Structure 1
Amino acid sequence: MNTKLLMTISAAILGAVGIILTFMPQEVSHFLNFTELTPIVFQILGALYFGFAMLNWTAKANLIGGIYSRPIAIGNFTHFLIGGLASIKLVLHNTALTSIWICAIVYLVFALLFGYVFFTNPSSNNRAA
């Protein structure tokens, strides 16, 4: 698996979400009908996403999988798996949340990909050039 591509795409998505949550928390709260949440929660979540994006971006050239960059693989795998499962739980109780369905699918795809990276050993041809 080309981990450089996986890390780049996840960094881009997480970075975009992080920037949106950091600079437009009230708009996101209104769009998702989460008006009871304060904007500071979304700003902190945006900082978390942006931090993960920077981690993935700076680690994209490393060999990832097996014992290589294990903390990065574990962090991404657990983040996307737990986020995906939580999103599925939310949409099962409210099926009208189309945007959450999309997020859940994206999260679960990344969870599968990072799970594969985490539980398999990379071969020498997977090294990013």
Structure 2
Amino acid sequence: MKTKWLLSSSAVVMGLLGLAGTFVPEEISNILEIEPSPITLILLQIIGGLYLGFAMLNWFTRSSLIGGIYNRPVVLGNLIHCLVVFFALIRHLAEDFHFIFVILTLVYLGFAIWFTLVMRSNPLRNQSKMSA
């Protein structure tokens, strides 16, 4: 399984979301029609920092052996993050439809499925097939 693609692509997506949340929280709150109060802006920056941390984690582990018991905390952390965000976006879409949320929902569903497949795979078995 191509875990390097998974971790690289999730690092890029989370990195972009993290940079946006960290450096342009006021613009994000205006786009989402949220009152840009000081607490909202600081929460967006905190969330941006969390996304940047996940992006760095994924970027620096992308070349490691991943799947099954190998790097399980990385896979499980990403899987839980993707599932929680996916369900939050589904719940939001039921109340208020925004095109950007549809795209994010599909992206997070794809990542959740992919991380589930990686967690259930055996990277050593996949490696032996490639070298044979």
- Give the TM-score band, short-chain normalised: over 0.9
CA distance 1:99–1:67, change in 2 (3 Å): same
| Structure 1 residue 125, shift from structure 2 partner | 5.4
Q: What corresponds to 1:108 in structure 2?
A: 109
Percent identity, please: 41
Q: Tell me how far apart the structure 2 counterparts of residues 125 and 109 of structure 1 sit (CA, whole Å).
A: 27
TM-score (norm: length of structure 2): 0.90
| Structure 1 residue 28, shift from structure 2 partner | 0.3
Q: What corresponds to 2:12 in structure 1?
A: 12
Amino acid at match of 1:124: Q
Q: Tell me how far apart the structure 1 counterparts of residues 67 and 107 of structure 2 sit (CA, whole Å).
A: 21
Q: What corresponds to 1:33 in structure 2?
A: 33
Larger Rg: 2
Gaps of 5+ in 1: none
Gaps of 5+ in 2: none
Q: Does residue 124 in structure 1 map to residue 124 in structure 2?
A: no
Q: What corresponds to 1:44 in structure 2?
A: 46
How many residues were matched structurally? Answer: 126
Native 8 Å contact 2:67 2:121 kept in 1: yes
Native 8 Å contact 1:11 1:53 kept in 2: yes
4+ residue runs over 2 A deviation: none
Native 8 Å contact 1:63 1:126 kept in 2: no
Q: Tell me how far apart the structure 2 counterparts of residues 89 and 125 of structure 1 sit (CA, whole Å).
A: 42
Amino acid at match of 1:21: G
Computed over aligned residues only, the root mean square deviation of the Cα atoms, in angstroms, reads 1.6
CA distance 1:108–1:27, change in 2 (3 Å): same
TM-score (norm: length of structure 1): 0.92
C-alpha offsets along residues 31-85 of structure 1, whole Å, 9 cap, x if unaligned? 0112266100100000000000000001001011100000000000000011001
